Structures are given as structure tokens and as C-alpha cells.
Structure 1
Amino acid sequence: MSFDLLSAREGRRPFWIAGPLALIAVITLVDVLTPPQVRLSPFLVVAPAITASFSGARLTAAVAALALGAEVAVDMTEGPPALNQSVATLALAAVSALVVFFAYLRDQYARHYRHVRSLALTAQKAVLRPLPEHAGPLHIASVYLAAEAEAVIGGDLYAVARRPHSTRLMIGDVRGKGLDAVGEAALVLGAFHATAHREPDLPTLAAALDGALAATPGPLDRAAGEDFVTALLLDVPDDAGPVSCLSCGHPAPLVVRGGLPVEPALPDPAPPLGLGLATLYARTGSFALGPDDIVLLCTDGVLEARDRAGTFYPLPDRIRTWPGGDPQSLVSYLRGDLLHYTGGGNLGDDAALLAFRRRDPPAPAPAPREGPA
């Protein structure tokens, strides 16, 4: 049983405790009403054992004391206790003490676990900063699904940076998953935040990210092609101009136009970052973006998610079933649909979705007309 599940059950223990208490009452009543040679009181040890499964050491000790008191009361109603009755009472006390002791140890481990997990989650959230809902004229929404149950982030990443007249976005995927990939994700995100606002175009930005990653030793051998990061870079101007896009081994964006997914015609992707090849093969493409179009970016964890039959998640087909709305409603819909498709979130890899829509800036208000002098 996970400690998170234990904490959830502790929140409902006023209802759960009714079971052990009823068990003590029933066993005690039946033992009193049956002939003396029929002994049911040894079963009272079940009550503290059940209590320990959903509560802490204090409540377990209280139930154990109540069970022991019931055992003594039954013995007293049947006259002076015989030797076997005294042995049964001592056995109940010993087993109850062990149950309480192990419940205490579990409480200590649970506190330590929650403290360590809290620190880990804080560190992970510091690596992958929450995206702003608005950046210039862009309305942005994102969702992250980590493959490892105890993680908030893993090897997928996304980031946004503002420039004087445009917004740059990045979504990427580190080779591997879980906490082992967090360090690589932190390196790429740090390089993006440091350079995205000053590099003149996307190829030079890709070169800066590639150089930062290639120059830093990783857990695997980058020279052998075992350690790399796929990335998709976009530059969205604030006006109605086309969106610039560059892919380094990453899936292309989808433009949701009128409820239908459209894949824009873009150059072939360059090699992933970290191999020292992005500068040689990087090519920038562009596509038009209307005021009601939504651009959807995703990682391989979405496209490679499978159902119980092993069929890949059909993202374009699922977009067609979306009832419509803003970027937030799109990623929320796809998140729920993806979890349902995979049978409750049994993802084979980390999955990230990022959607944005560009709204035309409001027209400036006309200057007030001066009245006659």
C-alpha cells in the first residue's frame, strides 16, 4: 500500500473504524453467550490488525487496548480464568503490541517518505516552470503526464520566452523517462531561457541549445548517439505574420482549424539536440495562423500511447471529436481522453501537450475629438 493511499484512508477513518469496533462487540457477545468451552476471544486480535491497515499507531493501540479489555471481561464473566485462558490473554497482548509497533514504524517511514517526496516535487516544479496563460497576444495552455507515478515531471519539457515583437515556444523530449531524464531536461530548459530572447532566428537558437547540450557530460554517451533531446522551436510574431517553426527530430505541430487537425507543410526535421548536428541540418519552415486557429504541440508519449490492444493513440482522430473551445479546453479534453484510452494512465512514456492561439491585439481607441475653442 502506498503512503498516499494510506493518507487518503486516514482521512476516512471515522467510517473505517466502525468495522473493528463492531468486530470486537460481536466476538465478545458471542463468546459470552456460548458455553465456556467455546473460546472465540482469541479472534479479537483481528481488530487491531485491521485497524493498522488504514490508521496509525495511536488508533491501533486504542483498538488493541479495547480488544484486550474485552478479552479480560469475557474471562471474568466465566469465573476465575484457567491456564489456557491466561495464555490466550497474554498471546493477545503480545500480538497486539507487535501490531502497534509495526504501525508505529510505518508511521515513521510515511513521514520520512512524505518529506522526501515534498522536496523532490518542489525541485521538479522548479525545473519545469508553469507556463503563463498569456504571452503577448498568445493564449497558452499545457498539460504534463509523467510516466512514473511518483514523479511530476520526467524527460518531457516545454518553455515560453518573450521577445520584443514575438513569442518563442519550445517543446522537447529527452531520451528516456522518469527522474533519470530530469537533469537533461533542466539543462535544455536553462539554455533556452538564457538564449531564446536574444538569438536572432531559430537556427541560431537551435545551435545554442545543441552546443550547450553537447558540451555537457551526460549520463550516457552522446558521441555514440545514446543521449539526445528532440525539440520543436516556434517563433510566433505578435502581428498576423506566419509562424516560424524548426524541428530537431520532434513531431510536427498540428493546426486545429475549424475543429479539424491540419499538419502544415514543413521541412524535414534536423537531427536531435546533443549530437552536434543540428547546426548543419536545421531548416526553418513557416505556416499561416488565423485568429481562431489553435496550434497543438505534443511529445512522443502522446503519439506512442497504446490501448490494451496495443493500438497507438490516434491523435488527429481524437481531435475531431473535441467539441471545440479554447486551448485550455483542448488540452484538458485530450488529457482525459488519453488517460481513458490507455486504461487509466498506464503510459509507457512521459507525455506533454501544449496548445496556443493568437488573438489579434485590440485596436487602439480613437483619440478624443477636441471641441470648438
Structure 2
Amino acid sequence: MDLQPRRAGRHSSRTPRHALLAVPLALIALVTVADMLAPPAVHLGPLLSAAPAVTASFAGPRVTGGMGAVAVLAQVVVAMVRGSVTDLNHASQIIALILISVFVTLFAHLREVHEKELVQLRWVAEAAQQVVLRPLRERIGPLRVASVYLAAEAGAQIGGDLYAAARTPHGTRLIIGDVRGKGLEAVGDAALVLGAFRAAAHQEANLPQLVSYLERAVAPDLEDAHAAGNESEGEAFITAALLEVPDHGRELHLVSCGHPPPLLLRGNRATPLAVDQPAPPLGLADLTEHRLSAQRFPFEPGDIVLLYTDGVLEARDEAGRFYPLADRAAAWDGTGPDDLLRHLREDLLAHTATRTLGDDAAMVAIERLSPAPPPSQGH
């Protein structure tokens, strides 16, 4: 289950905008009545220019132009009541109001064009991001899965963190990783790792071989990207954890490439699955199969394994304290991976002072379901 926040539809803002039209209309009515009742030496007509100006701040050119026309009509009525439309004072007010209305209508038109361009760019960006970081299925074999992604870059849905799952004939393979850096600049490296994982997860015989393939696939590109960028930014690398959960049995296999250890949630305990010999992050070493080994950990029906990235642990509160993920996960008393991530997401954002993160954060929760009973034999 994907717990990404969704944007509201385009129709969600129409009702408030229509309600806002009452403000400039009320302003026109108020100024018109006050101007007609004011002494001959007092002229309130210039205040009518505020109506189209206010309208342009939230409405399109047609509505803004229409509001300007209403304001001009109101000024003409005031001029007829108080004297003559051809009077120099009233004529100059009418001309000035027409010019202001034309100007703000043009401004509303330019703003609308710009907004349409931004909507189109955002749609393309979101489509590209969905291709890079595909939502995980809620059920993958005997597993129930949920995921959440919190991007640090404003306006983004993904950044430098990554996760993916692949179904194999013998089980399910998953990867979670963290590209050095954050935000949209790291999306390319994340896409590189995800593409290599999806291409090889079904072909490589075991996890060490899969990790070696990922290293061979991403290392040259990371070196090229680093050589073309700023040398002062340091080496490019990717921490990652790869899991394999066989369909049959009560264990999982784990290879860690410099990534934070997953948490095994069982009852009211959160146990880190720390491997004895972690491998270096991808892109920092020439990994070979004989140097890698997958460590086995128990994974019983009803257990939940929580994968996460550094952005979760490094979230700070107002006092500078890091987010205590293990304690908060152990204290959770809900049911199912989707409920767990929904709870942790809100708790993580509440932990920060501004409900924003300094780094991208991703979490994936995996629950092993009880095996289905064998089908009964007919007589």
C-alpha cells in the first residue's frame, strides 16, 4: 500500500474562489453608496480600482475584466448622480479606472498562462517520478507491504531515497536505498539503481550475485556523474539493503551495503537486524561475490520488518534530538504495515519543529502472513 500524500483535484479550489467574489462586489457597492452620499468636495471613486485589483489576485482575466467593467459602471452611475459624466473630475476618474482595469486584466492573463505552464510541468514531473518510484503492491506473495516517502525537496514526491520489490519463483526480493545527497538532484542516481535492480532481480541466483550486479551497473555511472559535477562535494555512493523472503520457511536473507539495519517488530519489541559483515555502499568499492554473504534472520508469521532510510533517524525536534524510531515503533499497538507507517509518518512529522524534513525519508513495512492451509482432498 502506498501512503503517499495526494494533491487535491482541480475542482477543490473553485468554490472558495467563487466565494471570494463577494469581497470586490461588496467593496464596489460600499464605495458607490458612500460616494453618492458624500459631500460635493469628497470623491471616493478612486477606491473602486481596488475591486479589479483584488479580483486579479485570485481569479482569471475574464472575471477580472468583468469586475473592472462593474467598477467602471458604478463610477458612471456615481458621476450621473453627482453631476455629469463629462465633468472633468468624473471623466478623469472613469478613464483612470478603465486603464487600471485593463492593466490588472492583462496581469491576470499572464498569471493564468504561467499557472497553466506550472501545472503542465508539475504533471510531467509527477508522471516521471511515478515511473522512477513505482508504488509497491499491497500483497506480494505471502507478504503484506506498505510504503511511504517524504521528500525534503519542496514540490517533489521523490528524491534520493529508493525502494522496489520483485517477485521471483522462490520468493520476494526487496531493496531500499539512499543516494548521497537529497532532493531532485539525486533522482537520476536513484533511477539508475532501481533500473538495475528491476533488470537483475529475476535473473541473479542469490543476493550476493544481485548486489555485485548492482555495483557493476551503477559504479561507472556514479563515477561519470561525479567527474562531471563539483569535485568538492565528495564521492558519490548509495547505501542499500537487499532482502529476500522465501515463500516457504520462517526466515529472511539480508545483505547490507552500509545501510541502517531493518527493525524486526514482534510483540512490543523492535530488534535491529544488524548483519555481522556489512558491505560498503554501492559505488565505493569493487564488490565481488566471494566477499559478500547473505545473513539469515527469523521472520515468523505475524512479524513485521521495517525498512527505512537515514532521513527518518536524522529528523530532529526543537531541542535537536534525533527521532527515536525503534522506541516509537516498539510502542505502536496497531495492526498491519499500513497502519504502522501511517502512525510513524504522522509521529515523525510531529517530532520535527516545522513538520518538514532536512533529508528525504522513506519507510517500507513488510508483514509475513500466516501460510494458507492446504486444500482439502476430495473423496
Report the TM-score range of the alignment, normalised by the length of the smaller protein.
over 0.9
1:119 aligned residue: 124
Match in the other structure for 1:29: 33
The superposition leaves residues 121-142 of structure 1 with CA deviations (integer Å, 9 ceiling, x where unpaired) of 1111111111111111011110
Partner SS, residue 225 of structure 2: coil
User: Does the Cα contact within 8 Å between 1:246 and 1:284 map onto a contact in 2?
Assistant: yes
Corresponding residue number in structure 2 for 1:244? 253
- Tell me by how many angstroms 1:239 deviates: 1.6
Superposed displacement of residue 342, structure 1: 2.0
SS in 2 for 1:244: strand
Residue 361 of structure 1: how far off its partner (Å): 2.2
Contact 1:20 1:51 in 2 (8 A): yes
Task: State whether residues 271 and 281 of structure 1, in contact with CA within 8 Å, keep that contact through their aligned partners in structure 2.
Answer: no
SS at match of 2:130: helix
| Corresponding position: 1:356 with 2:362 | no
The structural deviation recorded for 1:332 is 1.1
Kindly report which structure 2 residues correspond to 1:36-115, keeping only aligned pairs within 5 A, or say none.
36-81=40-85, 82-115=87-120
Residue 192 of structure 2 is aligned to residue 187 of structure 1:
yes
Partner of 1:146: 151
Q: Distance in 2 between matches of 1:310 and 1:159?
A: 32
Secondary structure of 1:345's aligned partner: coil
State how 1:281-292 maps to structure 2 within 5 Å: 282-292=292-302
Secondary structure at 2:371 match in 1: coil
1:267 and 2:273 correspond: no
2:169 counterpart of 1:169: no
- Per-residue CA deviation, residues 209-248 of structure 1 (Å, 9 max, x unaligned), is 0110012254324998611111000111112232111111
- Please report the RMSD computed on the Cα atoms of aligned residues, expressed in angstroms: 2.2
Q: Measure, in 1, the Cα distance between the counterparts of 2:167 and 2:212.
A: 19
Amino acid at match of 1:21: L
What is the one-letter code of the residue matched to 2:212?
Answer: A
Partner residue, 1:316: 326
Aligned length, in residue pairs: 367
Residue deviations 1:253-282 (CA, integer Å, cap 9, x gap): 001111321113422422110123333753
Matched residues in 2 for 1:255 and 1:199: separation? 26
**1:339/1:368 Cα in 2 relative to 1: closer, same or farther (>3 Å)?**
same
Counterpart CA distance in 1 for 2:9 and 2:304 is: 38
Rounded to whole Å, the distance in 1 between the matches of 2:276 and 2:15 is 55
Partner residue of 1:365? 375
Three-state SS of the structure 1 residue aligned to 2:226 is coil
Return the letter of the residue paired with 1:263: P
Q: Distance in 2 between matches of 1:6 and 1:45?
A: 30
Give the SS at the match of 1:171: strand
Is residue 276 from structure 1 mapped to residue 309 from structure 2 by the alignment? no
The answer to whether the aligner puts 1:333 opposite 2:343 as a matched pair is yes
Segment of structure 1 superposing worse, 215-224 or 285-294: 215-224
1:158 corresponds to: 163
Distance 1:192 1:89 in 2: 69
Change (3 A) 1:346 1:5: farther
TM-score by length of 2: 0.91
Name the SS of the counterpart of 2:362 in structure 1: strand
Give the distance between the partners of 1:211 and 1:132, measured in 2 at CA: 28
d(CA) in 2 for partners of 1:54, 1:261: 50
Q: Is the 8 A contact 1:272 1:278 kept in 2?
A: no
Percent sequence identity is 50
The 8 Å contact of residues 48 and 64 in structure 1, kept in 2 or not, is answered as: yes
Residues 303-361 of structure 1: CA distance to partner in whole angstroms, max 9, x if unpaired?
11122332211111222332220011111111111122224531111111100011132
Letter in 2 for 1:308: E
Unaligned runs of 5+ in 1: none
* TM-score between the two structures when normalised by the length of structure 1: 0.93
Whether 1:213 and 2:218 are equivalent positions in the alignment is yes
Aligned mates of 1:265, 1:34 — CA distance in 2: 81
| 2:71 aligned counterpart, secondary structure | helix
Is 1:307 the counterpart of 2:313? The answer is no
Q: 1:68 to 1:7 in 2, by over 3 A?
A: farther
Secondary structure at the counterpart of residue 366 of structure 2: strand
Question: Unpaired runs of 5+ in structure 2?
Answer: 1-7
- The Cα shift of 1:93 comes to 1.2
**Residues 29, 218 of structure 1: CA spacing in aligned structure 2 closer, same or farther, 3 A cutoff?**
farther
* Higher mean displacement: 103-112 or 215-224: 215-224
Q: 1:24 Cα shift?
A: 0.7
Contact 2:239 2:259 in 1 (8 A): yes
